[in-house]
Amino acid sequence: MRERIGSALKSAQEDGDKRRCATLRLIQTAVKDREAAARDNGKDGVGETEVIDILQKMIRQRETSADEFETSGQLDLAEQERVEQEIIREFLPVQLSDDEIRSLCEETVKDIDAHGLRDIGRCMSELKSRYPGKMDFVQASCFVKEMLRSEANGYHASKSADDVAEN
């Protein structure tokens, strides 16, 4: 991913795209800062998952700023923030749709044999390890909670109507 960011920066410099250059430099700086902090704590740099976390945080920051600029009537600044968001998003994995997230949540609940709300943490941990940066984990948490709450009321995601009929 770092190579992609570096080559995108070179292309933006060649094209004279100042906004893109500035945004890509911000990304590189944020990653380098996180790497320096990791080394200070005795770790060996940052991995792909941590870079994705950095990018997602940068997007959330720009979203907040854009909303604040819109509220205060500074539409040109809000638009700049949104352009930066799109540049940053280019480097994130493709996000899964709601239906895909729900399906993967159901699959994970089955795979780890989760029963009841006490297993939300295990489910979320498994989803995060399987699909880093590819889904909205707040939304996934809601789906998992809904599935496990339903199970507590007699429904289990791993049992379809056919499974129940066979038993």
* Sign of the torsion angle spanned by Cα atoms 156, 161, 166, 167: positive
**Do residues 109 and 85 share a domain?**
no
Cα–Cα distance, 153 to 144 (Å, whole number): 14
Q: How many CA atoms lie within 13 A of 5 on its CB side?
A: 22
**Do residues 74 and 6 share a domain?**
yes
Residue located via tokens 């704590």: 41
**pLDDT tens track, the chain, 167 positions:** 788 999 999 999 999 999 999 999 999 999 999 999 888 888 887 888 888 888 988 998 999 999 999 999 999 999 999 999 999 999 988 888 899 999 999 999 999 888 888 888 999 999 988 888 788 888 899 999 988 887 665 544 444 444 444 43
Structure tokens at 93: 């994995």
| Residue that finishes a domain, picked among 57, 89, 121 | 89
Cα–Cα distance, 27 to 13 (Å, whole number): 15
**Do residues 102 and 152 share a domain?**
yes
* Secondary structure of residue 96 in the 3-state scheme: coil
Alpha helices in 16-119, H assignment, sequence order: 18-40, 48-71, 75-89, 98-111
Cα–Cα distance, 65 to 77 (Å, whole number): 9
Residue 108's domain comprises 98-159
